[in-house]
Amino acid sequence: MRRLRTCFTGRVTAPPLSAPLNISFDYTRSLGPVLGPFMTGLRDRRVLGNRTADGRVHVPPLEYDPATHAPVTDLVEVRPTGTVTSWTWTDRPLDGQPLDRPFGWALIRLDGADTALLHAVDAGARERMHTGMRVRIRWASERTGHIRDIACFEPGADSADRAEAAGEPVTIMTTPIRLSYTHTTSEDESRYLRALAEGRLLGQRCPVCRKVYVPPRVCPADGVPTEEEVTVRDHGTVTTFCVVNVPFAGQRLDPPYVVAQILLDGADIPIPHLILGLPADRVRMGMRVAAVWRDPASWTTSPENIEHFRPTGEPDSPYESYQEHL
Amino acid sequence: MLAAVLGTGQTQHRTRRTDVSMAGLCREAIDRALIDAGVEWPQIDAVVVGKAPDLFEGVMMPELFLASSLGAVGRPLLRVHTAGSVGGATANVAATLVRAGVHRRVLAVAFEKQSESNAMWALSIQPPFTAPIGAGAGGYFAPHIRSYIRRSHAPGHIGALVAVKDRRNGALNPYAHLRQPEITLESVQASAMLWDPVRYDETCPSSDGACAMVIGDQAAAEASGRPVAWIRATAMRTEPTFFAGKDHVNPRAGFEAAQALWQAAGISDPLEEIDVAEIYVPFSWFEPMWLENLGFAEAGHGWKLVEAGETRIGGRLPVNPSGGVLCSNPIGASGMLRFAEAAMQVMGRAGEHQVEGARVALGHAYGGGSQFFQMWVVSSS
Amino acid sequence: MSTPEVAVVGFAQAPCLPSAGTTSGVETLVPIFRRALAEAGLDRRDVDFWCSGSSDYLAGRAFSFVNAVDAIGAYPPICESHVEMDAAWAFYEAYVKILAGEAQTAVVYGFGKASAGVLRRVLALQLDPYVAAPLWPDSVSVAALQARCALDGGIVTERAMAEVAVRSRADAAGNPYAQVFGDFDVDALLAERYVADPLRVHDCAPVSDGAAALVLAGGDRARQHPRRAWISGVAHRVDPPGLGERDLTLVPSATAAGEAAGLRGALDVIELHAPFTHQELLLRAALGVGERVRINPSGGALCGNPMFSAGLARIGAAAEEVMSGRARRAAGHATSGPALQQNLVCVLEAS
């Protein structure tokens, strides 16, 4: 049994806020002159290795010869049957793995190859796995030119599957990558977010340079935690800005709109935010603005409690008052 | 100990290099660099790889799977990542390995295969608890350009002048992604305003590409039958992304790196003594900003060099004869392309975009929120 | 080997915990910078060069290392660099920078919140992106394939592996930063279930959040320092990536790095970065570690494995053995990549 030590540091507060962060993209991998034919072969139920200058046949193929560094162009077809050279067993498959029931991972040397390929073996039970076992490819029913055209391997000494040439050469494979994280904030950031949930903007002053940071953080100039809490007003001055005219993925507003750096009264570092409530071409450096909060009933520990900033109608701040913040 | 660039190589940069794998892309640049340097694989002692975020290609530490293709097996392999400045940092790390006497010849390679994903997506992943302001890629830098214009009183067409110059230079460079010999001031000014004050033609493309170079010690340089680029000085500086009082227009990290660079290179008047400069300019307005930051002009006066045409090939300080980042932008390689072009210029191997009589050149890269700076000065002797 | 010119003069680490700290690492780094610099008797303004190791994929964000610079207090600006590798390789970069005369002092640091994602699944992305990663082979299963080869080859036994775990956990009881520690019985461990046959829980490093920082000084700056561990050699090498391309029981990159670093000769202590028990046994063979060498007095990565600083922490732990006078000559080892693909060896001496 593992025993765990716990350690408590710093002031006692509510635990830092955390939330899921999921990233997901379908990567498009261009394959080139070696991996392209290999993937094309898999689509057609053929396994192509290649032969390096020393005569060894590599499956999966190598793009460059490790000894001569030359491109490896000599493609060689090998059998869809092979021998397990190493294995392990997975009781609880992870998201994205070839099988969703317990299975074996194995290094498999296909007949005709000198190196081994990593793939899954649908053996049913751990007890059936052993080094030296004979396996054959189980092809996926739908094949696109992808390593997953091999659905998995299965125990067996021979194969009746026949290759079928079909279609254009494969040049690109698509690989989805989906990852889930928990993003954890610092204690300072959590205090800031909890204050936001109460409609307050919280800053903290650096004990060394005396500058007020919003949101609070370790002072990036001095490398020390900021500690003294300072309430900052939800009014401020536009230091600089850009007019976003370009549409892009994930955008929430229709262009054009203004994203500005806003120096809140009492803070020493600007925050970025939207300026709405006037035409984009009327926004000015030095313009006085105020936060427009959402309905208090919807407030959470989120900067989204502030919907945007609007002009206050006060006279513009003189350039000298914010020129140190550009 | 002395170090020199023995040879450089780069890929044909394109939006999508669907004809090659990641290894193939790197090897296109590496094989050209080895030929240019007259160096054989067994002579390479170590490999340094540079690349920007792993999320671009969806591979964690891709140098591991590339180790064999990059000829690194059995050798030391380092992977540098310093945001957009990484190509420059990679060259500087390789130079340090040689200057320390650790290695005789080091292969440095930097790449980005941006078409494997979408850089906009990778850079705009919004962590929880942050406001979804949604400014997009240019939205970070456009406000700082506005600040520059306000501070320097630069006329509005300066950015367009830079774009015209760089795109026409790119037309002279067979490797450039964007090659636009017909571009004019009017056509740039007629292009869409994306992030006011930044227009479409004033922004860099997204490219697939790689750059490689072989850096050698004095003995290796002397054994080379071809001209080499001696590394006279290198410099680096970093400051935080945001802090109270940060100068986004003229960041102190860039200024101090340049001052250290000029001092180490024995240069007292960079405008007089530098023959050609390759400066990392992803948005055209950064040319005048960096001219000031680097000390080629007084603060607020960089745009006057641009307006006077002094940064064109044939001007007092040709800037980005390769076409620069505005013409080719494989992010991880962009910095090394600047460093390589500086070397190519002083080696006299820049082809159509050669600056006559270039003997001393600057290579410059920056990254992050104008916070990571890498530079070198190379010379023909 | 010529006279050493660079020494370790300070080291600090955060406790290894199953879940601790922010995704950015800033708050974890601030106190360990302070402690490492205090031990080295340096002000942060006296540091000529900072170099870090971390991974964007640990945090799930591009440019995740950028924030960490805030922990330094990097204004006025500093000289700084970063490797997307274990910080042991940042250590190498800093060491070379001092050798080149470009810096006299350096702080090297690594950090990572391995618990933010499902670590063993995230690490699948280190495999070949065309033929292996799309199958999502997790890092524990990949290590298990290596362990099986070693068992089949008669190089290790499950009992010998369990003995590594028992020794490591017992030693970790004296290490306040360890996550797993205490007295265990080999037979009891061998009665546990497999997590990835032939690996059991005790064969695998825990998932740890943590960080480490180490201070280097060169030449006279090192000689002035009363407490130091001279670096007599550092080297690193990498092996082929394909799991089916190499004999997984041999670690030629470790062997070559050890030879290049001058590992041969009397050694009191070695800290091996072995996240799995069988990997310690393979590394001992590859590096020719003799019977009388004390292995992992800290408990090693099996008792706390903060990703991207665990390799640096091995060098730090070895340096502490020398700085404290417990060892005359010690070595630190770091690994990176699947199945011990990349390896670094650093040899440290008292004088």
Pick from C126, C238, C242: CB nearest B60: C126
Closest CA to A50 of A74, A80, A34: A74
A313 lies in a domain? Answer: yes
Whole-number pLDDT of residue C2 = 62
- pLDDT tens profile C303-318: 999 999 999 999 999 9
Buried residues in C114-143 as b, exposed as e (16+ CB within 10 A): bbbbbbbbbbbbbbbbbbbbbbbbbbbbbb
Q: What is the CA radius of gyration of chain C?
A: 19
- Candidate from B130-134, B147-151, B177-181, C92-96 with smallest mean pLDDT: B130-134
Whole-number pLDDT of residue A1 = 34
Whole-number pLDDT of residue B207 = 97
- pLDDT tens profile C273-285: 999 999 999 999 9
| Sequence-separated contacts (24+) of C184-192 with Cβ below 8 Å | C186/C159, C186/C162, C189/C162, C189/C165, C190/C158, C190/C159, C190/C162
Nearest CA in chain B to C73: B240
Query: Quick check: A217 and C141 CB within 8 A?
Result: no
DSSP state of B157: T
CA distance A6 to A249: 43
Pick from A69, A220, A273: CB nearest B131: A273
- pLDDT tens profile C184-197: 999 999 999 999 99
Do A129 and A171 belong together in one domain? yes
φ, ψ for residue B94 (rounded to 5)? -60, -40
From the candidate CATH numbers 3.40.47.10, 3.30.70.20, 3.30.70.270, 3.40.50.720, the one assigned to the domain spanning B3-119+207-223: 3.40.47.10
Total number of domains in chain A? 3
Assign A251 a pLDDT band (cuts: 50, 70, 90): confident
Do A227 and A239 belong together in one domain? no
SS3 B32: helix
Size of interface B-C (CB pairs under 8 A): 179
Nearest CA in chain A to B150: A285
Average pLDDT, chain A: 93
User: For chain C, what are the domain ranges?
Assistant: 6-118+207-229, 124-205+231-349
Do A62 and A120 belong together in one domain? yes
A9 lies in a domain? Answer: no
Assign B137 a pLDDT band (cuts: 50, 70, 90): confident
Question: Closest Cα of chain C to B195: distance in Å?
Answer: 23
Would you say residue B297 has pLDDT above 50? yes
CATH number, span C124-205+231-349: 3.40.47.10
* A-contacting residues in B 291-310 (Cβ below 8 Å): none
Give the CA angle between residues B186, B191, B192 to the nearest 5°.
150
Average pLDDT, chain C: 96
Assign B273 a pLDDT band (cuts: 50, 70, 90): very high
Question: Closest Cα of chain B to A311: distance in Å?
Answer: 18
A19 lies in a domain? Answer: no
Do A276 and A295 belong together in one domain? yes
Chains contacting C (3 or more CB pairs within 8 Å): A, B
- pLDDT tens profile B12-52: 999 999 999 999 999 999 999 999 999 999 999 999 999 99
* A-contacting residues in B 104-123 (Cβ below 8 Å): 113, 115-118, 120-122
Pick from C27, C116, C148: CB nearest A86: C148
Whole-number pLDDT of residue C351 = 81
Q: Residue A309 in contact with residue A283, Cβ under 8 Å? A: no
Query: Quick check: B74 and C128 CB within 8 A?
Result: no
- pLDDT tens profile C4-20: 899 999 999 999 999 98
Do A175 and A252 belong together in one domain? no
User: For chain B, what are the domain ranges?
Assistant: 3-119+207-223, 136-203+229-379
B136-203+229-379: which CATH topology? Peroxisomal Thiolase; Chain A, domain 1 (3.40.47)
**Can you tell me the ipTM of this complex?**
0.97
Class at the top of the CATH hierarchy for domain C6-118+207-229: alpha beta
Whole-number pLDDT of residue A4 = 40
- From chain B, pick out residues whose CB is under 8 angstroms from the CB of A29: 21, 116
A264 lies in a domain? Answer: yes
Pick from A64, A221, A252: CB nearest B243: A221
Of A164, A179, A194, at which residue does a domain stop?
Answer: A179
- pLDDT tens profile B239-252: 999 999 999 999 99
A14 lies in a domain? Answer: no
A18 lies in a domain? Answer: no
Pick from B18, B68, B240: CB nearest A171: B18
- Residue A208's domain comprises 185-232
Would you say residue B278 has pLDDT above 50? yes
Would you say residue C272 has pLDDT above 60? yes
Mean local confidence (pLDDT), B95-104: 97
Whole-number pLDDT of residue A3 = 40
A240 strand-pairing partners: A261
Torsion sign across C-alpha atoms B204, B208, B214, B215: positive
Would you say residue A207 has pLDDT above 60? yes
Do A40 and A116 belong together in one domain? yes
A142 lies in a domain? Answer: yes
A208 lies in a domain? Answer: yes
Mean local confidence (pLDDT), C133-152: 98
CA distance B61 to B143: 33
Could you tell me which residue, C36 or A1, shows the higher pLDDT?
C36
Query: Quick check: A64 and B198 CB within 8 A?
Result: no
Would you say residue A2 has pLDDT above 80? no
Do A162 and A65 belong together in one domain? yes
Query: Quick check: C56 and B54 CB within 8 A?
Result: yes
Assign A5 a pLDDT band (cuts: 50, 70, 90): very low
